[in-house]
Amino acid sequence: MTTPARRFKDTIYEQFARIGKAVSAPKRLELLDLLCQGPRTVESLAGQAALSVANASQHLRILRTARLVDAEKKGLYVEYRLADEAVETFYVALRGLAEARLGEVERVTREYLDARGAMEPVESEELLRRVRKGEVTVLDVRPVEEYRAGHIPGALSVPVGDLKARIKELPRGREVVAYCRGPYCVMAVEAVTILRARGFTAHRMEQGVPDWRARGWRVARAR
């Protein structure tokens, strides 16, 4: 006979499992990662995650059912955003747990970055110190809407697709640090390749805006 205490526990863990089920698909994790950068329409999310709009909508419905994301109608479009800051904290913690427990994460990342000569030679904490002190030129190479939603204070918005055309805007003789959406975003890798080919001393910063917030540091927003 099932006791009230057993029913209580079964029900509680069933609710916990709703979160696990919602994030059990790789594409849904990618969508959460994108939404950590700021609100996006279904169409924008679909394009960034290499999904059809129909598939992106289906994944977003599952995330919304688990109350991880919210949606708001804006004109002809539906805009999605994280339900609250706790979801971003959860995503960053989940990513950190995978990095700590799964050696495949480091292996796959290293293989990709080594092949492009993109591994950062400067220790991460030292690089962060220089960024915070304003000792380097910091480039946010994400799309402009993500920069506006939140960026590292003092960073210049230069989307990677515009970098070659705008490279004359960057001061010569000063180190450049490029960042994008975090350690597994490849836009900063491309930006560093472009900068180095044109004679700049450039580094990729692994940390993105969610990592910055996770440290309790201020994030700026464009007006």
pLDDT digits 0-9 by tens, 149-201: 999 999 999 999 999 999 999 998 899 999 999 989 999 999 999 999 999 99
36 is catalytic: no
Single pTM value for the model? 0.89
Domains of the chain with CATH codes? 4-87 (1.10.10.10), 109-214 (3.40.250.10)
Neighbouring-strand partners of residue 80: 40, 71
Q: What integer pLDDT is reported at residue 121 of this predicted model?
A: 46
Q: What integer pLDDT is reported at residue 124 of this predicted model?
A: 77
Q: What integer pLDDT is reported at residue 123 of this predicted model?
A: 59
Both tokens of residue 160? Answer: 């990677």
What band does 120 get if pLDDT is binned at 50, 70 and 90?
low
The residue from 22, 46, 92, 180 that is catalytic is 180
For residues 59 and 51, the answer to whether their CB atoms sit within 8 Å is yes
What's the chain's length in residues?
A: 223
Q: Is the pLDDT of residue 122 over 70?
A: no
Average pLDDT over residues 21-28: 98
Sheet containing 176-179, strands listed edge to edge, beginning at the edge strand earlier in sequence: 156-157, 137-140, 176-179, 202-204
